[in-house]
Amino acid sequence: MTQDSLKQQIRQLAFERNALILAHNYQRDEIQEIADITGDSLGLSLEAARTEKDVIVFCGVHFMAESAAILAPDKTVLLPREDAGCPMADMITATGLKQMKQRFPEAAVVTYVNSTAATKAETDICCTSANAVKVVRSLEAQEIIFAPDRNLGRYVASFLPEKTFHFWDGFCPSHENLRADEVRRIRAEHPDALFMAHPECHPEVLKLADHICSTSGMYAYAQTSPAKKFIIGTEMGILYRLGKENPDKEFILASPALICPNMKLISLEDLYASLANLSPVITVQEPIRSRARLALDRMLAVPRD
Ligand code: 13P
Ligand code: SF4
């Protein structure tokens, strides 16, 4: 079967199943192309929460499909590759977080959505890279446990010196791959380019950035900035839409190491099979689902711009 006829069959099946195809901004180009909606973690969670479709096919990683299952329990949530995990989400466990809470009983617990449902269930409020500063600022608590991403946590803390932070020592291996000396070198080669970085990058890399934001924030910045050239400090999947939406601008990946193997697992064939077989289904059992839902709902209630 050619790629084009496979794409047509996927769209036909999605129609027959009354399915919404969501794709994260790091997915393969052809998956982003065929999706109904592409977006960052926050945007896709909102879409999952408000869809009236019967089926949500989540082209992303496991924690994202879990969030959709938590927010839309009456829908069938599919993750075309069940083995698409997130190493950062696996760097923390609910038990580990419980132990940290015992050490800092006064602290509010803020957990990045890149975490399992069981970890979210031990959390006061979730955040994404798009809203983390606003979420933590909205809290009355002076003391914060921030998990699991130490880099995003330190970035948030830099805006809120009045609060005391305790960081879980997790990180995204793909973003951690980007080194400050590589960024300095590529900046020197392209002195007319702006450097956009994701807050999952190392603090030494973030110090060099002109703009720090979530993946969807990068689309907005590329479109509104008068600059013609950008160095990109996040996973390479973002280049697809950046190039498509800004044909007159140039985007240079800061390092070839900026790749998340888990985000590259889902193929068109996997997506077709998932829709055809209505599997693998992702579910979250009670009472974890309700407790994790509370943490996600609190996040979604924080006013956006
Ligand atoms: P955002 O799309 O929310 O910026 O998240 C980045 C990421 O690492 C998702 O796995
Ligand atoms: Fe996890 Fe990093 Fe991959 Fe995102 S890019 S899914 S944080 S490993």
Cα–Cα distance for residue pair 277/269, rounded to 1 Å? 12
Cα–Cα distance for residue pair 198/63, rounded to 1 Å? 19
52 near 264, Cβ under 8 Å?
no
Mean pLDDT, residues 117-124: 98
Cα–Cα distance for residue pair 138/135, rounded to 1 Å? 5
173 near 87, Cβ under 8 Å?
yes
Ligand 1 center to 200 CA (angstroms): 8
Residue 305, pLDDT > 80, answer: no
110 near 136, Cβ under 8 Å?
yes
pLDDT tens digits for 227-277? Answer: 999 999 999 999 999 999 999 999 999 999 999 999 999 999 999 999 999
CATH topology of domain 174-259: Rossmann fold (3.40.50)
- The pLDDT score that the predictor gives to residue 26 is 97
Mutate to test the pocket of ligand 1, among 32, 175, 198, 234 (most ligand atoms within 8 A of CB): 198
Ligand 1 atom at minimal distance to the Cα of residue 175: 8
- The pLDDT score that the predictor gives to residue 1 is 79
Residue 220, pLDDT > 80, answer: yes
Proportion of the chain in helix, strand, coil states, percent, rounded to 5: 45, 15, 40
Domain boundaries, given as residue ranges, for the chain: 3-85+263-277, 88-170+288-301, 174-259
Ligand 2 atom at minimal distance to the Cα of residue 262: 3
Cα–Cα distance for residue pair 265/61, rounded to 1 Å? 9
127 near 171, Cβ under 8 Å?
no
| Domain 3-85+263-277 coded CATH 3.40.50.720 | no
Ligand 1 center to 2 CA (angstroms): 31
The confidence band for 45, taking pLDDT boundaries of 50, 70 and 90, is: confident
pLDDT tens digits for 49-77? Answer: 999 999 999 999 999 999 999 999 999 99
| CB 129 near ligand 1, within 6 Å | yes
Which CATH superfamily hosts domain 88-170+288-301? NadA-like (3.40.50.10800)
Ligand 1 center to 114 CA (angstroms): 8
- The pLDDT score that the predictor gives to residue 153 is 98
Ligand 1 center to 41 CA (angstroms): 6
Query: Which residue, judged by its Cα, is nearest atom 3 of ligand 1?
Result: 41
Query: Which residue, judged by its Cα, is nearest atom 9 of ligand 1?
Result: 41
- The pLDDT score that the predictor gives to residue 304 is 80
Cα–Cα distance for residue pair 18/278, rounded to 1 Å? 12
pLDDT tens digits for 64-114? Answer: 999 999 999 999 999 999 999 999 999 999 999 999 999 999 999 999 999
- The pLDDT score that the predictor gives to residue 13 is 98
- The pLDDT score that the predictor gives to residue 37 is 97
Per CATH, 3-85+263-277 and 174-259 having the same topology is answered: yes
188 near 232, Cβ under 8 Å?
no
